[in-house]
Amino acid sequence: MVTLGLNIDHVATLREVRKDIVPNLLKAAQEGVRGGAKGITVHLREDRRHIQDRDVFILKQAIKVPLNLEMSIAPNVVRVALHIKPEKACLVPEKRKELTTEGGLDLRHAQRQIATVVNQLKKKGVTVSLFIDPEPAQLRVASEVNADFIELHTGVYARTRGSQRKRELKRLRDAAEYAHELGLGVNAGHGLNYENVKPVAQLPCVEELNIGHAIIARAVFVGIRKAVSEMIYSMR
């Protein structure tokens, strides 16, 4: 059964607009776990616009489910990851001005650097995933650099409709099956919400969906625990 990893970046976004101590990020994570999330995800961005180094440290110490750290391969982020050793890391591309991660990693153009970071993290016992578009060439490189998992970028699926969305869902399905053949674990995420999540949750070989924005937006009205349990209901 596919599980939910709850991304709580936007709880920290709300805190950081005032540089305050509320809302409390750890409590948000714990509420998410009570709602049924099987993992907590945070993205330590290079500009530290929401999640801070101490958040990653506190979550790693205190939560009872695996912590998944989304991260670029920038040295000042890799250093933190190697020190804190989250259970999981997902390497993502990062641009300073973007509102959120805009596309998958282009593994072919940064293969050597990515291979180095994958290797450094794995040596510390971190399970490493690579966030990529559903393209066979990217999957082959993910396998070559020794990643444990790939996270399929569902952003295009999420923002298209009709036949285009159907085509994109097929691309995701083919990629999930090919990744499985290559011996890679498969996760997926980005842009998923209560309406579009089910077909992705039903894809073969997908183990975990990482979802943030839609759940935190819903939580404003119903609280995190309920927003998470409603998402799990939508997935099934």
For residue 190, indicate whether it is catalytic.
yes
Is 189 a binder of ligand PXP (CB under 6 A)? yes
Is 210 a binder of ligand PXP (CB under 6 A)? yes
> 17: Cβ–Cβ under 8 A, 6 or more apart, which residues?
none
Binders of ligand PXP among residues 146 to 165 (CB under 6 A) are 151
Is 208 a binder of ligand PXP (CB under 6 A)? no
Nearest to 69 by CA among 35, 215, 55, 111: 55
CB nearer to ligand PXP: pick between 25 and 90: 90
Is 72 a binder of ligand PXP (CB under 6 A)? no
Q: Which of 28, 71, 90, 197 binds ligand PXP (CB under 6 A)?
A: 90
The token pair at 192 is 């998923």
Is 142 a binder of ligand PXP (CB under 6 A)? no
Name the site residues for ligand PXP (rule: CB under 6 A): 7, 9, 43, 70, 90, 92, 100-101, 131, 151, 189-192, 210-214
Q: Which residues are catalytic?
A: 43, 70, 190
